[in-house]
Amino acid sequence: MNKHIKDIDTYLALQPEDVRIVLQRLRQIIIKIIPDAQEVISYNMPAFKYHGMLVGFAAFKNHCSFFPWNGSTVEQFKDDLVNFSTTKGTIRFTIGNPIPDELLTKMIIFRINQNLNKQKTLRSKPNII
């Protein structure tokens, strides 16, 4: 997608209807779990920030991707992701085989906890001048 995307609504409006429905569902799950997350566009795709980058998603020609913004999430849930193509930081899915809501919920909560723990660790470190 070569157009400059200003927000998630614009991104979704540019998608074919079947893709838009799947990605809107993903967006709704994220918002339901963490309504305080900030919606942003990062690397020209929808993303959410909550105490740092949280998750993102995107549509491609033959699939969609969910980005947990780190490699440990895919590793943590590898047994649940056997029916999906994955890389260290990407989970690919199709309209016909979306990531189940329960699994998405678990991964998003995992990422929230990672970000909160990271913030706690950073706050506990002394300032070095």
d(CA 1, CA 88): 23
Residue 92 main-chain phi, psi, to 5 deg: -95, 140
Q: Which CATH architecture has domain 8-117?
A: Alpha-Beta Complex (3.90)
Mean pLDDT across the chain, nearest whole number?
92
d(CA 31, CA 62): 26
Q: What's the pLDDT band for 4 if we cut at 50, 70, 90?
A: confident
| pLDDT confidence of residue 97 | 96
Give this prediction's pTM.
Answer: 0.89
What does the domain layout of the chain look like in residue ranges? 8-117
